[in-house]
Structure formats: structure tokens, C-alpha cells
């Protein structure tokens, strides 16, 4: 058994070089071969991508996926720790899993970011004894061993490490889409925003080798993929840890040369965004003009308390520069309300920034204290109702601008990459514009996997309607 340790998780090595190794296949316990698995994923894109690896490994060991948990012999919850409600969802779902386990012999496991918290491990050990195994983000590639040990020893197996982090190349993946693929370019995070648990759950910021990334994109293109999304918590800091003269701008240009139709990248931290990167976004024909640029707050006092390392003026400067240089850009953001010490005046400054930037869209959150993070120790005396009211006011503003941004597209022809049948209306298709706007499309032909011209016929707050034009 190995338990995580928040103090270890905070340490960053001086040498800052991650050990890169290839995935080693291990035979899974015979009792599982030919059986069905059920995986549920809760978190961000990185967590989803890990989910694709979990599925890929299980398939490579002879299991098949089911989306009906009652058919499964093994259930894995791939969790997120970023806010308390992510925890609540998992513990809620565990109740259902427990009932199922009373009627049937199944293996139950938890992985992802939650096991990286010691308090979660302690709770699972004391109160959720029916959970068979847990592993964390650092030993995802050891999943089969952890499962085998829990079967062999017939007891709860917990293997969670806190360490700077390695890079495991070549894990099998079962991708959710055959059109658009996630590609990790950087793991972990070194920014330590004071509210955020990710640097503790995912380890130090470490970049994959650019040759490996380009090779992966070339391979995806060969398989028929139309789009890749380059993933990292701070993609603009890509390469800093391993190269002197190779950064995200170089990487975008090199990935662009593969000729894959669409390249996206998330998330951009304002701090590491250089002019060279803005030029690369504008100049590379396959790089989409969509930038997710979290601002988090509009008051310099709060930004400082959050350790975001920019002021609102610096953010606005960067924002305007991107708007100026990148034609038809879409810029979205993340905002937290109710950070400890946020006064009404501070919150008004956030609203002011939203008015200045007129974001195309935003994800908004009420601050959620995370164990062992510096912000959790700050005095937080804003009542919950006031935080909720702030969120409500903020959302009204965000929705207004996102609606306006969509209205501007009314009557225009947009290039859309069609990903699937529309969830809302199965007679339609759904896809995304270059600027990452969701469009529901009328078409007589099956257009899935194609980039088509779509005339926008209706604009709503969160989506567009359109029809294919030749
Ligand atoms: N690396 C990305 C964000 C990852 S988490 C970045 O720096 O932008 C996604 C979003 O969750 C963050 O941008 C932040 O707005 C929100 N978030 C993170 N920790 C939070 C917390 N403790 N409470 C509320 N929201 C939080
Ligand atoms: Fe969290 Fe900040 Fe790192 Fe983003 S940059 S993952 S918000 S610590
Ligand atoms: Fe992602 Fe949640 Fe972990 S946002 S990195 S899955 S804490």
C-alpha cells in the first residue's frame, strides 16, 4: 500500500527532468478476460484522455466496454478533485455502486485526481471498504498490476504516489471519437494558484518531447482524424522545462506542417503568452483562432491573493493584442466568484472586466476551498447567499455577451467540423465552427467527419442552428 502525501506533492525537483519511459504490458488476472468493464469519467479534458487510456488498456487485455453498469464485472470511477461538488458526485455514485455490489460480484476501483488526496484515501479505507482498489494519476500505467494485486490478496489495494511525475509513452487508447483527438503536450502544473489542487494531484509541469507529439499527430492524421486538441494545464509554458529554444509557437508551427485539418490547444495561462505565439496562431492555417484565456478575477487584489501573476491591466493588454492580431478570434475565459476576501468592490471590478472584454463565453464557478491549498487557510467571511447572488449576476452578463457573440454570426457562412448526430435533435448533426461554437445542422446527407460550409440560421445563447450550403 502507498498513500499520497500533500507535502511531497508540493515539492518540485531542481533538475526538473521527467523520466520518460514506454508502457509495459502486463497480463490481467484471468478471471477478467472476456468480461465487461464500465468506466465513468468526471473531470477535465486531461481526465477524459486518461479515461481513454484506461479503456485502451482494458481492451488490450481482452475486456469489452459496456455503458450499462449492471453488465460490468469491473467498475472504474475516474475522478476529479477540483471543486467539492466533483467529490460529492463521486461519493453519491458510490452509493449506487454499493447496492449493485450487494447483488453481484464486481470489482470497484477509483482513480484520477481524488485518490491523490490523503483525506480521500483515509475515508475510502475507513468507510468504503467495498472499494477494491485505488490508484492515482502518477501510476495510471500500473493499473493492471493494482487490479491484479487486489484480486490476488482479496483486500483493498491502495497504490497512490506523490512525486514530481514521469511521462509514460505509448499506452493503448480507446478514443471516444474517430474525428477529433486529444493529444497531451504537457502534464502537471507548477503555477500553484492558491485556490487550486491540480499542482498537487498532477505533479510538476513537464513537457513531452516535440518529436513524440508530432509523430502522434501524423499517426492520427493517417488514421483519418480531422482535429487534434493539444492538452496541458498551461500550454503556453510548453517546452520551458526541457528546451532552451523550443516553445508552443514552434510546436504549433511543426504540428501545422503535418497538414491535419484543425489544431486546437487548451489551456492558455495569460502569464506565458508571447507575441511569437500569437503570430503562430494567426499564421498557421490549421491552427484554430480559439483561445481559452482564464482571467479568474478582475480585481488586482484578488488576482494577487490567487497568485495569478498578472494584473487586470496586463490581462487586458494581452486580450486586446490577441483580438487585434488574430482574425475572427473567439476568446473564452474562466472566472471564480467568492474567493476569500472578495468584497463587493472587487466583484464589481470583475464585472467591469467582463464588460471590457465581452468574452465569447465563460465557465464560472463559486470558490471551493481545497484541502491543503494556501487559499483554504484564508479567512472567508462572505456568506454563501452573497456568493450565489454574485454568480447569478456574473452569469447574466456572461450570457448576454455570449448571446451577442453568437448573434454576430447570424446569416454568415461558417466552416464546421461535424462530429456527431445532434444530441438535442437526432434528425440533425452537430459540430464546431473554427471559433469553437456549437452548431446544430440540418442536412439530408450524412456529413459526420466532414468539414462543411454552414449558413447560420439561428443564434441562441449557447448554440447556433444552421444548414449546409454548397
Ligand atoms: N489550468 C487551467 C485551469 C484548470 S481548472 C488554468 O489555469 O486556467 C479549471 C478551472 O477551474 C480554473 O480555471 C478555475 O476557474 C476553476 N477552479 C480551480 N480551482 C477551483 C476552486 N478551488 N474553486 C473554484 N473554482 C476552481
Ligand atoms: Fe490550477 Fe493555476 Fe495550475 Fe491552472 S495554472 S492548473 S488554475 S494552479
Ligand atoms: Fe482535471 Fe479535475 Fe484533476 S480538473 S486535473 S481531473 S482535479
Kindly report the CATH number assigned to the domain that includes residue 462.
Answer: 2.40.50.140
149 lies in some domain: yes
Q: What is the mean pLDDT of residues 83-102?
A: 96
Those residues with Cβ within 8 angstroms of residue 274's Cβ, 6 or more apart along the chain or in another chain: 236, 247, 249
145 lies in some domain: yes
Band of residue 12 on the pLDDT scale cut at 50, 70, 90: confident
Tell me which of 269, 294, 373, 380 to substitute to probe ligand 1's pocket, judged by most ligand atoms within 8 Å of the beta carbon: 294
Q: Is the CB–ligand 3 distance for residue 80 below 6 Å?
A: yes
- Decide if pLDDT at 372 tops 90: yes
For ligand 1, the distance from its centroid to the CA atom of residue 98, given in whole angstroms, is 31
Entry pTM = 0.97
Q: Is the CB–ligand 2 distance for residue 191 below 6 Å?
A: yes
429 lies in some domain: yes
Q: Is the CB–ligand 3 distance for residue 81 below 6 Å?
A: yes
Tens digit of each residue's pLDDT (9 = 90 or more) over 37-86: 999 999 999 999 999 999 999 999 999 999 999 999 999 999 999 999 99
96 and 138 inside one domain: yes
Q: What is the mean pLDDT of residues 315-334?
A: 98
Band of residue 15 on the pLDDT scale cut at 50, 70, 90: low
218 lies in some domain: yes
The CA distances from residue 386 to 331, 337, 338, in Å, are 28, 10, 8
Q: What is the mean pLDDT of residues 431-453?
A: 97
β-strand pairing of 157-159 with 133-135? parallel
Of the residues 105, 134, 166, the one at which a domain ends: 166
Q: Which of 430, 465, 426, 466 is nearest to 450 (CA)?
A: 430
φ, ψ for residue 422, nearest 5 deg: -65, 135
232 and 282 inside one domain: yes
Q: What is the mean pLDDT of residues 167-194?
A: 97
226: alpha, beta or left? (left if phi > 0; alpha if psi -120 to 50) = alpha
Supply the DSSP symbol for 296. B
- Cα torsion at 141, 146, 152, 157 (round to 10°)? 180
1 lies in some domain: no
Can you give the CATH number for the domain in which 18 is found? 3.40.50.12160
pLDDT of residue 434: 98
Q: Is the CB–ligand 3 distance for residue 201 below 6 Å?
A: yes
188 and 116 inside one domain: no
Q: Is the CB–ligand 2 distance for residue 269 below 6 Å?
A: yes
Q: What is the mean pLDDT of residues 230-258?
A: 97
Least confident of 5-9, 98-102, 211-215, 344-348: 5-9
95 lies in some domain: yes
227 and 371 inside one domain: yes
pLDDT of residue 6: 87
For ligand 1, the distance from its centroid to the CA atom of residue 52, given in whole angstroms, is 23
For ligand 3, the distance from its centroid to the CA atom of residue 34, given in whole angstroms, is 31
Q: Are 74 and 207 in contact (CB under 8 A)?
A: no
- Cα torsion at 223, 228, 231, 234 (round to 10°)? 150
Band of residue 16 on the pLDDT scale cut at 50, 70, 90: low
For ligand 3, the distance from its centroid to the CA atom of residue 113, given in whole angstroms, is 6
Protein residues whose CB sits closer than 6 Å to any atom of ligand 1: 82-83, 195-196, 198, 233-234, 267, 269, 294, 296, 334, 336, 365, 367-368, 370
By residue count, the chain amounts to: 470
- Cα torsion at 370, 375, 379, 383 (round to 10°)? -60
- Decide if pLDDT at 353 tops 70: yes
208 and 76 inside one domain: no
425 and 341 inside one domain: no
401 and 420 inside one domain: no
User: CB neighbours (10 Å) of residue 205?
Assistant: 24
307 and 448 inside one domain: no
Q: Which atom of ligand 1 is nearest to the CA of 370?
A: 22
Q: Are 165 and 138 in contact (CB under 8 A)?
A: yes
75 and 218 inside one domain: no
Q: What is the mean pLDDT of residues 249-273?
A: 97
Cell for 243?
Answer: 528546451
For ligand 2, the distance from its centroid to the CA atom of residue 227, given in whole angstroms, is 25
Q: Which of 374, 382, 384 is nearest to 342 (CA)?
A: 382
323 and 420 inside one domain: no
Of the residues 166, 192, 208, the one at which a domain ends: 166
| Residue linked to cell 494519476 | 137
443 lies in some domain: yes
pLDDT of residue 242: 92
Q: Is the CB–ligand 3 distance for residue 198 below 6 Å?
A: yes
Tens digit of each residue's pLDDT (9 = 90 or more) over 125-137: 999 999 999 999 9
Report percent pLDDT > 70 for the chain. 99
432 lies in some domain: yes
246 and 215 inside one domain: yes
pLDDT of residue 17: 72
CA-to-CA distance for 84 and 365, rounded, in angstroms? 11
Cell for 174?
Answer: 480507446
pLDDT of residue 14: 67
Verify cis geometry, omega within 30 degrees of 0, for the bond prior to 267: yes
pLDDT of residue 469: 94
CA-to-CA distance for 137 and 271, rounded, in angstroms? 26
CA 257 to chain centre: 25
Mean pLDDT of the chain: 96
Supply the DSSP symbol for 7. H
pLDDT of residue 105: 93
CA-to-CA distance for 190 and 453, rounded, in angstroms? 41
Q: How many domains does the chain have?
A: 3
Q: Are 150 and 156 in contact (CB under 8 A)?
A: yes
pLDDT of residue 18: 84
Q: Which atom of ligand 2 is nearest to the CA of 334?
A: 7
Compute the Cα dihedral for 304, 197, 462, 397 and give only its sign.
negative
119 and 153 inside one domain: yes
Q: What is the mean pLDDT of residues 329-334?
A: 98
Tell me which of 336, 366, 380, 391 to substitute to probe ligand 1's pocket, judged by most ligand atoms within 8 Å of the beta carbon: 336
The CA distances from residue 384 to 245, 342, 366, 430, 446, in Å, are 47, 12, 9, 38, 48
Tens digit of each residue's pLDDT (9 = 90 or more) over 244-257: 999 999 999 999 99
Of the residues 358, 380, 407, the one at which a domain ends: 407
CA 217 to chain centre: 19
Cell for 374?
Answer: 494556501
What is the span of the domain harbouring residue 422? 413-468
Amino acid at each position: 500500500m502507498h498513500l499520497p502525501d500533500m507535502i511531497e506533492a508540493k515539492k518540485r525537483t531542481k533538475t526538473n527532468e521527467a523520466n520518460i519511459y514506454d508502457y509495459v504490458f502486463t497480463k490481467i488476472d484471468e478471471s477478467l478476460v472476456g468480461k465487461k468493464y464500465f468506466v465513468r469519467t468526471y473531470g477535465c479534458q486531461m481526465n477524459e484522455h486518461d479515461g481513454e487510456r484506461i479503456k485502451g488498456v482494458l481492451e488490450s487485455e481482452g475486456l469489452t466496454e459496456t455503458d450499462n453498469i449492471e453488465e460490468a464485472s469491473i467498475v472504474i470511477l475516474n475522478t476529479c478533485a477540483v471543486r467539492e461538488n466533483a467529490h460529492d458526485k463521486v461519493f453519491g455514485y458510490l452509493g449506487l455502486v454499493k447496492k449493485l455490489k450487494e447483488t453481484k460480484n464486481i470489482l470497484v476501483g477509483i482513480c484520477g485526481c481524488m485518490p491523490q488526496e490523503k483525506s480521500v484515501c483515509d475515508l475510502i479505507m475507513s468507510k468504503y471498504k467495498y472499494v477494491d482498489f485505488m490508484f492515482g494519476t502518477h501510476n495510471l500505467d500500473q493499473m493492471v498490476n493494482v487490479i491484479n494485486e487486489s484480486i490476488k490478496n482479496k483486500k483493498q489495494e491502495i497504490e497512490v504516489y506523490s512525486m514530481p511525475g514521469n511521462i509514460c509513452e505509448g499506452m493503448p487508447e480507446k478514443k471516444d471519437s474517430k474525428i477529433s483527438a486529444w493529444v497531451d503536450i504537457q502534464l502537471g502544473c507548477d503555477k500553484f494558484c492558491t485556490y487550486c489542487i491540480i499542482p498537487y494531484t498532477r505533479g510538476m509541469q513537464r513537457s513531452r518531447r516535440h518529436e513524440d507529439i508530432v509523430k502522434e499527430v501524423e499517426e492520427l492524421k493517417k488514421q483519418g482524424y480531422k482535429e487534434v486538441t493539444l492538452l496541458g494545464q498551461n500550454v503556453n509554458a510548453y517546452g520551458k522545462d526541457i528546451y532552451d529554444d523550443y516553445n508552443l509557437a514552434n510546436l504549433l508551427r511543426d504540428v501545422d506542417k503535418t497538414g491535419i485539418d484543425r489544431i486546437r490547444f487548451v489551456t492558455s495561462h495569460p502569464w506565458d503568452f508571447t507575441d511569437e505565439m500569437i503570430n503562430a496562431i494567426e499564421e498557421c492555417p490549421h491552427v484554430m483562432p480559439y483561445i481559452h484565456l482564464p482571467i479568474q478575477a478582475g480585481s488586482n487584489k484578488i488576482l494577487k491573493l490567487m497568485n495569478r501573476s498578472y494584473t487586470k491591466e496586463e490581462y487586458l493588454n494581452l486580450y486586446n493584442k490577441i483580438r487585434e492580431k488574430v482574425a475572427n478570434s473567439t476568446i473564452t475565459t474562466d472566472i471564480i466568484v467568492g474567493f476569500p476576501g472578495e468584497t463587493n468592490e472587487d466583484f464589481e471590478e470583475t464585472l467591469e472586466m467582463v464588460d471590457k472584454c465581452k468574452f465569447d463565453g465563460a465557465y464560472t464557478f463559486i470558490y471551493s476551498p481545497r484541502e491543503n491549498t494556501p487559499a483554504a487557510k484564508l479567512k472567508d467571511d462572505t456568506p454563501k447567499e452573497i456568493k450565489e447572488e454574485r454568480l447569478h449576476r456574473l452569469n447574466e452578463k456572461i450570457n448576454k455577451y455570449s448571446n451577442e457573440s453568437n448573434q454576430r454570426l447570424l446569416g454568415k457562412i461558417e466552416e464546421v467540423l461535424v462530429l456527431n448526430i445532434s444530441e438535442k435533435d437526432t434528425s440533425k448533426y452537430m459540430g464546431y465552427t473554427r471559433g469553437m461554437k456549437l452548431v446544430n445542422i440540418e442536412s439530408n446527407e450524412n456529413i459526420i467527419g466532414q468539414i462543411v460550409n454552414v449558413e447560420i440560421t439561428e443564434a441562441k445563447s449557447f448554440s447556433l442552428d444552421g444548414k449546409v450550403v454548397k
